[in-house]
Chain A
Amino acid sequence: MSIFIQIFLRSLETGSVYALAALGIILVFRTSNITNFSQGALGMFNTFVVVSIFNNFGVPLWVAIIGGLISALLIGMMIDLVIIRHTKKVSPVAKQIITLGLIMILVRLAPIFFGVDPLNLPRLIPEGNLTLVGANISYNGLFNILFGLMVMGGLFYILQYTKVGLAIRTTASNEYTARLMGVPTKTVTLGAWAVGSMLGVISGVMIAPTTTVTLNLMDVVQINAFVAAVLGGFQTFYGPVVGAYIIGVVSNLLLFYVSPVWGGQILYVLILLFLTVRPYGLFGKKVVKKV
């Protein structure tokens, strides 16, 4: 039982990482209709920024993280201002290629700026464990879970209960109508890219201490975030987040109880089978075309 709880807590930690990335993807997707394949690359690049500020300037880690957030904000806004804003006539598939171009740029610039050696990022809370019903979780892990929930809770509050949130939701449901009604859709898209990019670096900083900071830092996160978006459905903001936690929990359970080698593959097969039954994910609905 305690092992189960242990796994469950760990899963919540990975789940929050996936969830933050998935939320970044869905924010951008719903406001600018772009499947952002560069979400991971953005997170990776800005995590490098955090590490190099931390290593080179001798500042506390949280200061370095704020530096990374600012860099993420600026890069996210720049992407929208320089590129995305000017692609109104471009088809959705071609827009995906733009994010591929962004990956190429970010992945190749990173070694030029930050060198080719893998770097290490310490935990924000270096030590200490909490014991809960026989299960252990580090304070850092607990902090990650709670901080992830806080960030997402805050964003959902803004989405649901504020004027800004209303503007975002209107843009998401119909960009054209939103513009006619005077919603500043351009600013909404700009904000979505900025926030999406910042969510990327948060998930990057959370996952970094468990591994080394390399160009592939976010590969797994990126793909699981996408699968989470499909599992939860692209039509709501909360679907992908729920999907991300499910993936976090189920994959760890499968890896432990079924097979450490095949767990990941089994999870994906299960999700594929689920999609054949519910093609628009947990919370999505089919849009019927009239003839």
Chain B
Amino acid sequence: MKKIKIAFKPWMGFVLFGIALALIPLLAEYTTFVKSSTIITIGGTVIFAIAALGLNILLGYSGLISLGTAGFMGLAAYLSAYMTVDLGLPFEVSLIVAVLVPTLIGVLVGLISLKIEGMYLAIATLAVSEILRKTFEEFEFITNGFSGKSARFPQLLGFIQLDRASTYYLIVVVLVIAMLLTYNMMNGQVGRAFNAMRGSESAASAMGVYSLKYRLIAFALATILASLAGVMYVHFIRFAYPSTWNLKLSLDFLAMIVIGGLRSIYGTVLGAFIVFAIPDLFLKQIPFFNQLSYVLNGVLIIEVIMFYPSGLINIGFDIKRLWLKLRKGIHDAGK
């Protein structure tokens, strides 16, 4: 008899993961286990995971650091809010423009990255982000300055008005697509070129990897994802302040990918949950400690780095290895 075997493909994993995320609002509606404010927290986390994924392409795969993620995300957020609210443009149009403009700037930074390395690049990108943030404060015409800019839930194709829950589904879909495309790219020729650039600049150029081209691609991909996250943010949270897009947020993204695991796609999402969602979802539930939830999160982040510097995503392998070792030990003892 012939057996019909369905091979488990990586894309199925991402889709299943997306379905699991999408179920959370339903749980909120039909059970008391999940609160509805949870959706905002988890939605925010998913948005930050999208931007962090871009940073992982840049730092994890290509070895190029950036502390500019927050600035690019903010720029996209303001642009999209301005175009949909003030100019009355369709969501789709403003999405495209709001992604394109920051990406052009991101590519410029990629050009700079040819000359500047390491810590210098980190601070240079921080400077770019600061230029953007100061501009958000001053350019009231678009950003409404310190008072903050408001936006609406997205309207798709001009007539499908989304609400909070459906915007959440949209965000989850964007994340799943981003994960899928990132996975495909990073496991092919482009991803290998990134890896080569990070691992050995000399080997990369000897093998014909044109480092200018791939640096620009890496910065473009990272900025595209940061901008997508910015657009999703402003249409989900429906508000943006200049102070949101500061150094702290860029460092948060860095923390997400380092804690979750460099070059790990699921790890990025895990990292986003730890940095962004854990204080709101869990730490605040601990009696007497709710005031300290963010302090505890800081402690948690430091602990993870100290005791698990390779990223929490690897914890699965390590538990498995420990289990095999234990079983072998028991087996040997039995003899």
By a CB distance below 8 angstroms, the chain A residues around B305 are 87, 90, 94-95, 97-98, 101
By a CB distance below 8 angstroms, the chain B residues around A271 are 127
Chain A, interface size: which category? Answer: 35 or more
Is the C-beta of B239 less than 8 angstroms from some C-beta in chain A?
A: no
**Beta-carbon contact of A272 and B127 below 8 Å:** yes
By a CB distance below 8 angstroms, the chain B residues around A262 are 138
Scan residues 23-66 of chain A and give those whose CB is less than 8 A from a CB of chain B.
29, 35, 37
Chain B, interface size: which category? Answer: 35 or more
CA distance A112 to B117 in the complex (A): 39
By a CB distance below 8 angstroms, the chain B residues around A200 are none
Q: B127 is contacted by which of A89, A222, A234, A268 (Cβ under 8 Å)? A: A268
**Beta-carbon contact of A112 and B112 below 8 Å:** no
**Beta-carbon contact of B116 and A276 below 8 Å:** yes
The answer to whether residues A96 and B116 also contact, given A86-B306, A226-B123, A262-B138 and a CB cut-off of 8 A, is no
Name the CB-closest residue of A to B298: A104
**Beta-carbon contact of A91 and B127 below 8 Å:** no
By a CB distance below 8 angstroms, the chain B residues around A135 are none
Is the C-beta of A230 less than 8 angstroms from some C-beta in chain B?
A: yes
By a CB distance below 8 angstroms, the chain A residues around B295 are 104-105, 108-109, 112
Contact with B along A96-125 (1 / 0, CB 8 A): 111011111101110010000000000000
The answer to whether residues A108 and B292 also contact, given A86-B306, A97-B305, A98-B302 and a CB cut-off of 8 A, is yes
By a CB distance below 8 angstroms, the chain A residues around B306 are 83, 86-87, 90, 98
**Beta-carbon contact of B251 and A275 below 8 Å:** no
Contact with B along A251-276 (1 / 0, CB 8 A): 00000000001101100110110011
Is the C-beta of A93 less than 8 angstroms from some C-beta in chain B?
A: yes
CA distance A29 to B115 in the complex (A): 22
**Beta-carbon contact of A105 and B299 below 8 Å:** yes
Is the C-beta of B34 less than 8 angstroms from some C-beta in chain A?
A: no
Interface centre among B120, B122, B127, B297 (most CB of A within 10 A): B127
The answer to whether residues A100 and B120 also contact, given A94-B258, A108-B292, A268-B131 and a CB cut-off of 8 A, is no
CA distance A268 to B128 in the complex (A): 8
Is the C-beta of A181 less than 8 angstroms from some C-beta in chain B?
A: no
Scan residues 96-147 of chain B and give those whose CB is less than 8 A from a CB of chain A.
112, 115-117, 119-120, 122-124, 126-128, 130-131, 134-135, 138
How many CB-defined contacts (below 8 Å) exist between A and B? 127
**Beta-carbon contact of A97 and B258 below 8 Å:** yes
CA distance A223 to B124 in the complex (A): 11
**Beta-carbon contact of A97 and B254 below 8 Å:** yes
CA distance A271 to B116 in the complex (A): 12
Interface centre among B120, B252, B259, B291 (most CB of A within 10 A): B120
Name the CB-closest residue of A to B203: A291
**Beta-carbon contact of A265 and B135 below 8 Å:** yes
Is the C-beta of A148 less than 8 angstroms from some C-beta in chain B?
A: no
Is the C-beta of B177 less than 8 angstroms from some C-beta in chain A?
A: no
Name the CB-closest residue of B to A273: B112
**Beta-carbon contact of B298 and A108 below 8 Å:** yes
By a CB distance below 8 angstroms, the chain A residues around B127 are 227, 230, 268, 271-272
**Beta-carbon contact of B309 and A230 below 8 Å:** no
By a CB distance below 8 angstroms, the chain B residues around A95 are 305
**Beta-carbon contact of A37 and B301 below 8 Å:** no
**Beta-carbon contact of A230 and B298 below 8 Å:** no
**Beta-carbon contact of A37 and B120 below 8 Å:** no
| A-B pairs with lowest CB-CB distance, top 4 | A104-B298, A101-B302, A105-B298, A101-B301
Chain A to chain B contacts (Cβ below 8 Å), 15 pairs: A89-B309, A97-B258, A97-B301, A98-B302, A100-B248, A100-B254, A101-B255, A108-B292, A230-B120, A264-B130, A268-B127, A268-B128, A272-B124, A272-B128, A275-B115
Binding site for A on B (CB under 8 A): 59, 65, 112, 115-117, 119-120, 122-124, 126-128, 130-131, 134-135, 138, 201-202, 243, 246-248, 251-252, 254-255, 258-259, 291-292, 294-295, 297-302, 305-306, 309
Given A97-B259, A100-B252, A279-B120, 10 more pairs with CB closer than 8 A = A35-B119, A86-B306, A100-B248, A100-B251, A219-B246, A222-B247, A227-B127, A272-B127, A275-B116, A281-B120
